[in-house]
A and B are shown apart, each in its own frame.
Chain A
């Protein structure tokens, strides 16, 4: 049984142009990617802006429409489901959003925000509902007494935890975390990341952790997929990716992360230069004639690279 499998997923957007604004081309935001999530693991999806990582996440949860491909959850292809049928699976896949400010409705009190999914999926009396919301607030480390406050009365980190509490109300199995900490200060990042690890253990959650920050992804993930131009260029365990990167883009990305050790900065610079030169020199080795990325090939049990 597959837990969650994204199979040959494509998300294309039409580009209109010419005199009559006909569709002349497609932006291939996600161009044929396949990935598997195992129960309880954290899968880190990394790439630079515009690489399609966010679109992938949003398509899995149903915010974007897949152009082609399957999203198989517990042996059911979610892309085939009608909206009604999909509703059943909504609970199982939840999302943590990037911006703790815009992801909470500023006109709603915390209780209404956290109780929103409860009201959609369960019938609870107001009293039970409030009890449940208070429990959740306590769980995410916020005062249960502040459920009648508005989001703007909380700090960024606190708001992000309200967002997590909301996702947790329906006991999801998978959480898609789209850049959950990139809007936060370093010290607040740490608090949210720790918290995410805690609840993962407690609820046996599976994370699809989407981020541009390799350091954070390394800290959080068991397995990592690197995306570039809508495709996966490399996938493997955290050790595979960080210790034996095979694709030139992965190397380039790794070389670009500033090294926190000032003594190695010259070494690092040199390494970066070499990788960049290799990127120029051996371009054909990694990209086909049209500049497209090859399909992933397994090179070990855990490690796949997009090589011809």
Chain B
């Protein structure tokens, strides 16, 4: 088991390296560099001084030297400076990271709260009216693009019914850290996370439903019944258990999916998170921030897939470790 995880982690390293090189080269292709921000702040800088500064900062070195420096800084937690805002990128990320994390977590929780019971019901009673409803919901949620759905949700529950706020992550008037503050945060989170969650359930429901239906016909279920195991226990101990365990392994992929969706969700609900930061940074051509964000999301995606693989190998003894 440990060996498997270590190997899997080792495979991650070249993936991350390649990702960082691609991003770095992309960044080189992007207009602007570390001095762009200074230039904006101080338009009187003459070209010679600029060139000197460039030389001093190593911006004229060959790209691989710059890359090594960059990656070294990254590893030490130095993300660099936002060209546009001229602040440390880590400061820019802090709060938003927490916001995105919270949104993602809540989305995941809602998604599983919806998907698992529905998947089980649909698989347990296929072709019942409940199943037909669930399959219908699944179909629609698969078909609708996330941004259209989120927008309609916002329009309906935010603007028309006024149940939820239409933007931000917390009420500005509320004092930080108070009970009301937390409530307000939650209030801001619910609509975006439910919108995202409702469209993130497809895979889980579909998998659970068909897996349960298949498992019911498996021979070992007959064995269980032949042992005299009561119907209820046949379901919980054999069918649901065997079908649910692999679902745990979806976690990593779900994280990747939700991360990707966060760009839309945060943009639509005007929610100050990493996704929104990405969109605004790229609109402002703030490429140093864009860089870090792509790197961060790439890292999280790779981590997510890794997580899924590891969970699966824990859950299913048949997956050989070596």
Contact = CB atoms under 8 A, between A and B. Distances in A.
B3 interface: yes
Contacts of A18: 322
Contacts of B233: none
A18 B3 CA distance: 9
A262 interface: no
Nearest to B6: A19
Interface string B1-30: 001000100000000000000000000000
B295 to A, nearest CB: 28
A291 interface: no
Contacts of B7: 19
A126 interface: no
Contacts of B322: 17-18
Q: What range describes how many residues of A lie at the interface?
A: under 10
Contacts of A19: 3, 7
Nearest to A18: B322
Interface residues of B, dominant DSSP:
helix
Interface residues of B, number: 3
Interface string A1-42: 000000000000000011100000000000000000000000
Nearest to A16: B322
A19 B322 CA distance: 8
Interface of B: 3, 7, 322
4 contacts: A17-B322, A18-B322, A19-B3, A19-B7
A17 B3 CA distance: 11
B153 to A, nearest CB: 45
A106 to B, nearest CB: 22
A18 B322 CA distance: 7
Nearest to B3: A19
A-B pairs, top 4 by smallest CB distance, nearest first, are: A17-B322, A19-B3, A19-B7, A18-B322
A128 to B, nearest CB: 48
B313 to A, nearest CB: 16
B219 to A, nearest CB: 19
Nearest to A24: B322
A142 B322 CA distance: 51
Nearest to B322: A17
Nearest to A17: B322
A274 to B, nearest CB: 35
Interface in A157-199: none
A14 to B, nearest CB: 14
Contacts of B3: 19
B286 to A, nearest CB: 43
B320 to A, nearest CB: 10
B156 to A, nearest CB: 48
A19 to B, nearest CB: 7
A85 B3 CA distance: 47
A17 B4 CA distance: 12
A30 to B, nearest CB: 25
Contacts of A17: 322
A246 B262 CA distance: 74
A42 B3 CA distance: 51
A19 B10 CA distance: 11
Interface in A205-226: none
Nearest to B7: A19
A163 to B, nearest CB: 30
Interface string A45-88: 00000000000000000000000000000000000000000000
A17 B321 CA distance: 10
A19 B3 CA distance: 7
A122 to B, nearest CB: 46
A186 to B, nearest CB: 24
Nearest to A20: B7
B12 to A, nearest CB: 15
B54 to A, nearest CB: 44
A17 B322 CA distance: 6
A19 B7 CA distance: 7
B241 to A, nearest CB: 31
A19 B5 CA distance: 11
A17 B7 CA distance: 12
A24 to B, nearest CB: 10
Interface in A270-294: none
A188 B6 CA distance: 54
B269 to A, nearest CB: 46
A171 to B, nearest CB: 45
Nearest to B10: A19
